[in-house]
Amino acid sequence: MSPETAKSLETKTKLLDGALRTLTEQGIAKTSARTVAAAAGVNQALVFYHFGSLNDLLAAACRYGAEQRVARYRDRFDTITSLSELLAFGREMHEEERAFGHVSLLGQLLAGAQTHESLGSATVAGLDLWITEIEKVLDRVLAHTPFGEFVDPPGLARAVAASFVGIELYEGADPEGAGAALDALEQLGRLVAALDDLGPVAQRAVRHRLRRTQR
């Protein structure tokens, strides 16, 4: 691919932004080299000149977009030490991302990845940026809870990320339903956070019970 002249970089950036806008606003099914180029305000063939193919552009856009978003929160992620802090931050962050459709974008890409191996791995890479941050926080936060030894942060981080993607896609079709789902999860989170604050006797009882049940 070409060395980065200023002109080239400008066009590439326009295309990356156009791709993100088109994916979030129109969905993967309506995302074509033409629609993306139109959103970017450049000639359609530049998709192929600068990125080789539409899918390669989408893959690049995914990395570009995810990196931008995660960078925005990385510092704040590091300051979280308790489950209730995590809940509050999660809600806030989610509202912000939702407004721009950044979460359902990953859903659109996962849907498109069905047929394109390369798009799949790019999306997984983008998701992994989120997962890594979530995992670090879970590690730190869960270590001090009575159930910390029974949960698997890497797996749970993936479950959280994928679940949010599903809920955001769902929101596009049923906003009230998705709202109810998010409220229920938040309620559940508060419930777990409350267990965290149990007295020592009750905590020991819980821990003991769990040890007996987990294989």
Q: Binds 202, which of DNA, a second copy, none (CB < 5 to 8 A, cut-off by type)?
A: a second copy
Q: 95: exposed, middle or buried (C-beta count within 10 Å: 0-12, 13-18, 19+)?
A: exposed
- For DNA, give the closer residue by CB, 46 or 134: 46
108 belongs to the binding site for a second copy (CB under 8 A):
yes
45 belongs to the binding site for DNA (CB under 7 A):
yes
Nearest distance from C-beta of residue 121 to DNA, angstroms:
18
Tokens of 97: 């991302």
38 belongs to the binding site for a second copy (CB under 8 A):
no
Residues contacting 12, CB < 8 A, separation 6+: 50, 51
- For DNA, give the closer residue by CB, 64 or 147: 64
21 belongs to the binding site for DNA (CB under 7 A):
no
Are the C-beta atoms of residues 123 and 63 closer than 8 Å to each other?
no
Q: Binds 2, which of a second copy, DNA, none (CB < 5 to 8 A, cut-off by type)?
A: DNA
* Residue 155 burial (CB count, 10 A): 11
Give the interface segment with a second copy, choosing from 8-16, 68-76, 91-99, 170-178 (CB under 8 A).
170-178
Nearest distance from C-beta of residue 29 to DNA, angstroms:
9
Measured CA to CA, the distance from residue 126 to residue 131 in angstroms comes to 9
Q: Which of 33, 107, 134, 141 binds a second copy (CB under 8 A)?
A: 107
Residues contacting 203, CB < 8 A, separation 6+: 146
